[in-house]
């Protein structure tokens, strides 16, 4: 993906902060950029590269989903003020790291929309080629919109390229409108992409897996269970026999979709997780209460943490030297826990729900869950998700979507704190009266 540096430079022409179609002097003019299928392929790869941003999966987006919750802390000797705000849940609208999340995701949406807009006019494409290309780009756009929704709530939905200053003055769409667009894009992707393929690119089943997550967050439990069932019953994926193998290899049988990194476009997750004594920056560290919550025979404990002296640090992403670890966005274990949670809300068969939970527990070396009521099952699933997906960017969203953040997190005293602030830079440049700040900021 990263070999296409020229095209990535070209696409950067579309994503300046305020004027999103300015072309740099060293780019190919946009009018000459999409002449055939090969150009389209480079455009799609450029759209994927937007996920690699350090403000996005390359560091901040995923780390904040654990730091804002109770999985990570910002140590006393750490220096990033923006991280301290997130750790304490007192985030200012001018927080530069939160601004980076917002900007990098909208940059990615605009790149995808620019490529989408070119597809109909590319000469020589068959209808099948054009449809598959659009399906892949719709998946990318859906994931971007979903990730924005989870941090900021109501957001502007963008389905056409942003061109010029007037196009930046847009209102926020309500949450239902955002969900509808995400679901429409993913359904198109599910129906028009090959069922499986490279794990660093979208597939039909990757779209189904993301749909399962989207429906769960939307509280559409019938469709969440059905989408997870479709992925599980496909037989395409499997749980790796040992937990530590998940992050030891890329594009393995458990991976459904991951972000590709190499030393050329490194992520900085290990750098921020590793302490100073291990040549990292030590901006975050695992919360002691989380580390203490693992059973002593839980295989996930040794696979998730190493120790510098007596202090634990996270090793799921451990390539400190080159930052070339791929980031796992969706993996197969989540499908079992989504199906279990959805069926619990639907008051389905308790033995079947327990079996889904136990698939994950048994791989971790644990016995079957003792939960036997729907209330106990929801608690068990929440705890299992915390341990299974620690430091993979789920915990904050889990607590917010279930309405549990105020009860669980001592620094969250109001539901207003469960949405991040709209960045000040957006409010200053977007003059649409429908672009307003989240309550409490």
**What is residue 256's DSSP assignment?**
E
Cα separation, 179 vs 173, whole angstroms: 10
Rounded mean pLDDT, 318-343: 98
Rounded mean pLDDT, 73-94: 98
Where does the pLDDT of residue 1 fall: very low under 50, low under 70, confident under 90, or very high at 90 and above?
very low
Cβ proximity of 287 and 72 under 8 Å: yes
In the predicted structure, residue 28 carries a pLDDT above the cut 70: no
Cβ proximity of 308 and 275 under 8 Å: yes
Q: What is the pTM of this model?
A: 0.93
Beta carbons within 10 angstroms of residue 403's beta carbon: 10
Which tokens hold the place of 366?
Answer: 């644990």
Rounded mean pLDDT, 227-256: 98
The count of C-alpha atoms lying within 13 angstroms of the C-alpha of 116, restricted to the half-sphere facing its C-beta, is 20
Residue partners of 78: CB distance under 8 A and separation at least 6: 84, 281, 282, 283, 284
Rounded mean pLDDT, 406-414: 98
- Report the chain's mean pLDDT, rounded to a whole number: 93
Domain 1-173 has CATH 3.40.640.10: no
pLDDT at 3: 34
In the predicted structure, residue 18 carries a pLDDT above the cut 60: no
pLDDT at 8: 39
Encode pLDDT of 343-389 as tens digits. Answer: 999 999 999 999 999 999 999 999 999 999 999 999 999 999 999 99
Rounded mean pLDDT, 97-103: 98
Cβ proximity of 51 and 141 under 8 Å: no
Question: Helices marked H in 243-373 — which ranges?
Answer: 269-273, 288-292, 299-304, 332-345, 350-363
- What percent of the chain shows pLDDT beyond 70? 93
In the predicted structure, residue 61 carries a pLDDT above the cut 60: yes
**What is residue 165's DSSP assignment?**
G
pLDDT at 163: 86
| Domain ranges for the chain | 1-173, 261-325
pLDDT at 364: 99
Bridge partners (DSSP) listed for residue 307: 312
Cα separation, 57 vs 73, whole angstroms: 19
pLDDT at 32: 55
Cα separation, 111 vs 49, whole angstroms: 10
pLDDT at 33: 74
Cα separation, 114 vs 137, whole angstroms: 10
DSSP conformation letters of 221-251: HHHHHHHHHHHHHT------SSGGGTTTSSS
Rounded mean pLDDT, 265-282: 97
In the predicted structure, residue 15 carries a pLDDT above the cut 90: no
In the predicted structure, residue 23 carries a pLDDT above the cut 50: no
Encode pLDDT of 174-192 as tens digits. Answer: 999 999 999 999 999 999 9
């Amino acid at each position: 993906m990263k070999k296409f540096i020229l095209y990535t430079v070209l696409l950067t022409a579309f994503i300046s902060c305020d004027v999103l179609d300015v072309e740099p002097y060293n780019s190919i003019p946009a009018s000459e950029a999409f002449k055939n299928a090969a150009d389209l392929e480079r455009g799609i790869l450029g759209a994927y590269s937007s996920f690699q941003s350090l403000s996005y999966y390359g560091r901040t987006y995923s780390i904040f989903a654990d730091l804002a919750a109770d999985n990570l802390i910002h140590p006393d000797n750490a220096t990033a003020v923006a991280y301290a705000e997130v750790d304490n849940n007192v985030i200012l609208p001018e927080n530069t790291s939160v601004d980076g999340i917002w900007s990098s995701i909208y940059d990615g949406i605009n790149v995808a929309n620019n490529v989408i807009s070119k597809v109909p006019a590319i000469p020589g494409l068959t209808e099948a080629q054009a449809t598959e290309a659009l399906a892949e780009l719709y998946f990318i756009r859906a994931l971007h919109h979903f990730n924005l929704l989870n941090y900021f709530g109501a957001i502007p939905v963008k389905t056409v390229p942003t061109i010029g200053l007037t196009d930046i003055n847009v209102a926020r769409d309500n949450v239902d409108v955002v969900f509808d667009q995400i679901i429409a894009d993913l359904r198109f992707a599910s129906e028009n992409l090959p069922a499986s393929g490279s794990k660093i690119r979208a597939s039909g089943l990757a779209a189904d897996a993301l749909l399962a997550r989207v429906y769960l967050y939307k509280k559409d439990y019938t469709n969440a269970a059905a989408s997870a069932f479709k992925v599980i019953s496909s037989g395409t994926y499997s749980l790796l026999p040992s937990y530590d193998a998940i992050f030891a290899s890329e594009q393995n049988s458990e991976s459904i979709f991951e972000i590709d990194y190499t030393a050329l476009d490194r992520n900085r997750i290990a750098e921020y997780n590793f302490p100073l004594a291990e040549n990292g920056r030590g901006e975050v560290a695992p919360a002691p209460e989380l580390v203490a919550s693992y059973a002593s025979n839980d295989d996930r404990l040794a696979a998730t943490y190493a120790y510098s002296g007596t202090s634990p640090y996270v090793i799921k992403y451990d390539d400190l030297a080159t930052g070339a670890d791929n980031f796992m966005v969706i993996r197969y274990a989540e499908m079992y826990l989504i199906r279990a949670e959805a069926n619990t809300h639907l008051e389905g068969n308790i033995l079947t729900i327990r079996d889904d939970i136990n698939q994950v527990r048994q791989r971790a070396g644990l016995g079957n869950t003792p939960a036997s009521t729907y209330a106990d099952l929801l608690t068990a699933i929440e705890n299992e998700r915390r341990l299974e997906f620690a430091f993979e960017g789920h915990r904050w969203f889990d607590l917010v979507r279930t309405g549990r953040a105020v009860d669980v997190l001592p620094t969250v005293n109001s539901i207003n704190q469960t949405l991040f602030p709209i960045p000040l830079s957006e409010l200053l440049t977007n003059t649409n009266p429908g672009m307003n700040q989240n309550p409490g900021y």
